[in-house]
Amino acid sequence: MIAVPGLGDVAVGPGTDFAEAETGGDGRFRAGRDGVQRILVPRDRKVELLVYADKTLVYIKSAMGYPAIYPLEPARFEAPAAAVLMDLDGTSVHSESFWMWIIEKTIARLMGDAAFRLEPADEPHVSGHSVSEHLQYCIRKYCPGQSVETARGHYYDITGFEMREILEGRGRADAFTPAPGLKDFLLALKANGVKIGLVTSGLYEKAWPEILSAFRQLDLGDPAEFYDAIISAGHALRKGQAGTLGELEPKPHPWLYAETARVGLGILPSERHRVVGIEDSGAGVVSIRLAGFAAIGIGGGNIAKSGISSLLWHQADNLLDALPAILGR
| Last-in-domain residue among 126, 141, 167 | 167
Helix (H) or strand (E) holding 101: helix 96-111
| Per-residue pLDDT, 266 | 97
Q: 82-101: b or e for each residue (b if 16 or more CB lie within 10 Å)? A: bbbbbbbbbbbbbbbebbbb
Q: Is residue 77 part of a domain?
A: no
How far, in Å, CA of 142 to CA of 193, rounded?
49
Same domain, 132 and 185: no
For the chain, helix, strand, coil in percent to 5 are: 40, 20, 45
Same domain, 197 and 143: no
Same domain, 13 and 119: no
Q: Is residue 240 part of a domain?
A: yes
Q: Is residue 139 part of a domain?
A: yes
| Per-residue pLDDT, 195 | 98
- pLDDT by position in tens, the chain (length 329): 999 999 999 999 999 999 999 999 999 999 999 999 999 999 999 999 999 999 999 999 987 889 999 999 999 999 999 999 999 999 999 988 898 999 999 999 999 999 999 999 998 888 767 788 899 999 999 999 999 999 999 998 999 899 888 777 787 777 889 999 999 999 999 999 999 999 998 888 888 888 888 898 899 999 999 999 999 988 877 778 787 777 788 899 999 999 999 999 999 999 999 999 999 999 999 999 999 999 999 998 999 999 999 999 999 999 999 999 999 98
Q: Is residue 62 part of a domain?
A: yes
Contacts of 113 (CB under 8 A, 6+ apart): none
Burial class (CB in 10 A: 0-12, 13-18, 19+), 141: middle
**In total, how many domains does the chain have?**
3
Q: Is residue 313 part of a domain?
A: yes
| Per-residue pLDDT, 275 | 98
What Å distances lie between residue 212 and 250, 316, 322, CA to CA?
22, 25, 24
Please report, for the domain that includes residue 276, its CATH number. 3.40.50.1000
Is residue 42 a contact partner of residue 304, using CB atoms and an 8 Å limit?
no
Residue 188: how many other CB atoms lie within 10 Å:
16
Same domain, 60 and 100: no
What Å distances lie between residue 26 and 29, 56, 69, 153, 173, CA to CA?
8, 17, 12, 30, 43
Q: Is residue 78 part of a domain?
A: no
Of 203, 107, 99, 113, the residue nearest 151 (C-alpha) = 107
Same domain, 307 and 203: yes
Q: Helix or strand or coil: residue 178?
A: strand
| Per-residue pLDDT, 128 | 66
Same domain, 228 and 108: no
| Per-residue pLDDT, 286 | 97
Same domain, 64 and 88: no
Q: One-letter amino acid identity for 200?
A: T
Same domain, 10 and 26: yes
Same domain, 140 and 30: no
Look up the domain containing 149 and give its range: 96-167
Q: Is residue 102 part of a domain?
A: yes
How far, in Å, CA of 199 to CA of 46, rounded?
20
Same domain, 62 and 89: no
Same domain, 217 and 297: yes
Same domain, 215 and 112: no
| Per-residue pLDDT, 102 | 95
How far, in Å, CA of 303 to CA of 84, rounded?
19
